[in-house]
Chain A
């Protein structure tokens, strides 16, 4: 499966990156392809292109705040969870993509 994800937490210092790390590690271990965009204190990094988004089979938002440029994902089915869920149970979050 090709997955794209966005992580974002209130201060953008810690949880954004923890969640990104967990999602990446877990998805690859499960044999999926994944690209995670972080929206933290440094701004948007590893930005998802429209091609990335178009090609994705599933979209995960692990966020506690609004996603920047949300319109990029219009028409896509999105699984949205709190950041903490992606840190605590990344496997469970990925499973939600069905």
Chain B
């Protein structure tokens, strides 16, 4: 008798290679036949084949079924359904898809046109940036004629040849995987899954059976599967063709020996790579030290090639028609993936323009790296640590590069999932040690296992539960599985010898649980000492506050715990008794509920009264509106997803802790969530100063009005006032086109109202030599003052300042001082003082 499970497909990007390989890993061990059926597309697949699963063309929200038939169908059913309702949702990560500039909104800066830009090609930006180098063309793969017409040997020999080749490729991939991190590792894993796919092997076997060589069989099998994928409705699935071709290429290389497929060209100087299609393997084979840009004919925003290009930060254009035949190999080209163009003919003027552009981009990159590396200090000098939540060791490196000041939560569940047995102490130690090393002395909080009915792991037999969130999970199973827990504690304590590691226990609801966990922790310490194994001493032991009852026994918990971290996701749902996955009650789930804020205040005040360190991890930390309240609570740290860190640090630097405390007081007095939300949205955002020394440039070497306006706009961009300089430049020119803003006496006031400004801004450019500006007195301009106003700014205050400045600049004494002053800080001070007088 078969078992059937019906469900709505949950993942936003559909069933692509990565989630399919997770599902395949889960079902692989069962003997029952497991069929995946998509009722929208009408396709079915063997769930043990990644390719077949991907071929069902399953998209988000499709009605799907899984049918289990065979001896262990009941076990398979419970395992798979548990997986689908739990960790499956985490198998996929949302893709950061850059909004491509569509051709009609393509604005080429007037300064670039004036510099002599003539021949260029357009494309869609897939990874921003500018690169320059010699063109290298990689042609598409075609099976050489000699191999295409070759006669097959005995089928047994061809089968054997294929198996040897497949094993060799697998070996290569596994070797690369050992050295790879993050995105690169994920792509290699997906390739390994494709290689192991039974559907692919079956197809090759069938082809060999019908008299083909292993080479021809592989080519045919790859093509057959690629054809299925190309017809998929999801662009994401269509883009998996590249991955498949990559595997094919690697196999053919092993089967045909050298010359069987084109080798990646050896790069010896900065290069821009042109290709109609580029597989992830081809990209990985290139020497990345020299790759300055990619120009591709076809490659979607979510293809693995593009994901890799982004993780390496290679400026990339896609959708460039006839990409591979645009250029002669060896010619010098510039890829500008910010503007969405590739320039094949570089005039002296264009070269000069891009020299400045590169210098500016370098300044911006240095500034951002500098800012991300700085600790978060608020306006009144108060500190709050901004840390990252991670779930694998690989993410730590990226998190620190993105500005994390520590790891606030390392969820260790992933180390335990998708395995037939628990990871041993050594394997765990390697992971924890890698994070501590990546942290380089910054604090790392690692949370011990939080598995249970909602996050099943195969080697722990949890009984099925009606309500896993209120069930046997977290610290609740520690007494029964003390050996497992102690192994984790030992691995953690050993890693703590390498740097400041803190250990945190999840789901504590009562003091007994805290005591039990602490006892196991102390025992693990004693065991290590007895065995003479190096480990950290005085390692802080902390508790995660996510069950409301813990908030009311904080005094007692302080006896066991050195620190706390509030897990707002679970705490909110337990406190408000609302599951946010349930659309009927999701609106009740809100961390801005005044009751919840009062709970938070009680927790933080309780911890602080006992001198305990307290942080907060959970999505509330990412909510820009809620962040001032978190500062107001007096938390020592907030921990959030790494990509949000840079923006959060910038936002926090604008706050003053005292204002936040006052805001929290008001919020705590609110009666409803809406009142809190209103209070937060009415909060005045502190204005950025109109002018700073960074916005003043002295002795600027420009020859034309176009260059000078661009230089002024560059000041705005470097100061972080705009991310669309090409649009601001155009807006300024539209104003200049009415009539020149050179009003005589060597001064000009170019200006614009723009929707692309972060704040109202003045920029001052003092030119080395006078520039023809079309001024009313015909005199060259020596000083340009750029006035940039936000298009949506209806506040009169700033307009008044600009009006005042306009009156000032026609006064002789102001003009004379402006001309004479050469120090940016003094000039800034003078202008701001004059404006306020």
Q: Which residues of A contact B (CB under 8 A)?
A: 10-11, 13-18, 20-22, 25, 38, 40-42, 64, 84, 87-88
- Contacts A11-B735, A13-B799, A18-B743: A87 and B753 contacting too (C-beta < 8 A)? no
Pick from B341-349, B373-381, B807-815 the stretch touching chain A: B807-815
Q: Is the CB of A87 within 8 A of B796?
A: no
Contact indicator A21/B806 (Cβ below 8 Å): yes
Q: How far is the CA of A11 from the CA of B738 in the complex (A)?
A: 10
Cross-chain pairs A/B with CB under 8 angstroms, 16 sampled: A10-B738, A13-B803, A14-B743, A14-B749, A14-B751, A15-B806, A17-B803, A17-B807, A18-B743, A18-B809, A18-B810, A21-B811, A40-B803, A41-B753, A87-B744, A88-B744
Min CB distance, B576 to chain A, in Å?
Answer: 47
B794-827 interface with A by 8 A CB criterion: 796, 799-800, 802-804, 806-807, 809-811
B787 at the interface (CB under 8 A from A): yes
Let me know if A13 and B806 touch, CB within 8 A. yes
Q: Which of these, A20, A84, A88, contacts B807 with CB under 8 Å?
A: A20
- Asked whether any CB of chain A lies closer than 8 Å to the CB of B459, the reply is no
> Are B789's CB and A87's CB within 8 A?
no
Q: What chain A residues lie within 8 Å of B753 (beta carbons)?
A: 11, 13, 41
**Judging by beta carbons under 8 Å apart, are B800 and A22 in contact?**
no
Contacts A21-B807, A21-B810; A14 near B787 (Cβ below 8 A): yes
Query: Which residues of chain A are near B809, meaning CB under 8 Å?
Result: 18
Given contacts A13-B751, A17-B803, A21-B807, 15 further A-B contacts (CB under 8 A): A11-B753, A13-B803, A14-B741, A14-B787, A15-B806, A18-B743, A18-B749, A18-B809, A20-B807, A21-B811, A22-B810, A41-B753, A41-B789, A84-B776, A88-B777
- A85, B627: Cα distance in complex, Å: 53
Q: Are A41 and B741 in contact (CB under 8 A)?
A: no
Distance A19 CA – B751 CA, assembled complex (angstroms): 16
Q: Give the docked Cα–Cα distance between A30 and B240 (Å).
A: 80
Contact A87-B799, Cβ < 8 Å, known A15-B806, A17-B807, A21-B806: no
Q: Count A-B pairs with CB separation below 8 Å.
A: 69
| B739 CB within 8 Å of chain A | yes
CA distance A42 to B801 in the complex (A): 11
Chain A contacts of B806 at CB under 8 A? 13-18, 21
- Within B729-788, the residues touching A (CB, 8 Å) are 735, 738-739, 741, 743-744, 749, 751-753, 776-777, 787
Least Cβ–Cβ distance between B695 and chain A, in angstroms? 17
Please measure, in the bound complex, the distance between the C-alpha atom of A84 and the C-alpha atom of B744, giving whole angstroms. Answer: 10
Complex Cα distance, B743 from A14, in Å, reads: 10
Question: Using Cβ atoms and an 8 Å threshold, which residues of chain A touch B735?
Answer: 10-11
Give Cα A11–Cα B811 distance, bound, in whole angstroms. 21
| Min CB–CB distance B807 → chain A (angstroms) | 4
The listed residue (A10, A11, A20, A84) touching B743 by CB distance below 8 A is A84
Docked Cα-Cα span, A10 to B796, in Å, equals: 18
Bound CA–CA A18/B738 (angstroms): 17
Distance in Å from the Cβ of A20 to the closest Cβ of chain B?
7
- A20 contacts across to B, CB distance below 8 A: 807
Of A11, A38, A42, A87, which is within 8 A of B810 by CB?
Answer: A87
Residues of chain B lying within 8 A (CB to CB) of residue A15: 741, 743, 806
The 4 closest A-B pairs by CB, nearest first: A17-B806, A21-B807, A17-B803, A14-B806
Q: Would you give the shortest CB distance from B798 to chain A, in whole angstroms? A: 10
CB closest residue in chain B, given A10:
B738
User: Is A13 within 8 A of B787, CB to CB?
Assistant: yes
B832–chain A nearest beta-carbon distance, Å: 18
- State the Cβ distance, B810 to closest chain A Cβ, in Å: 5
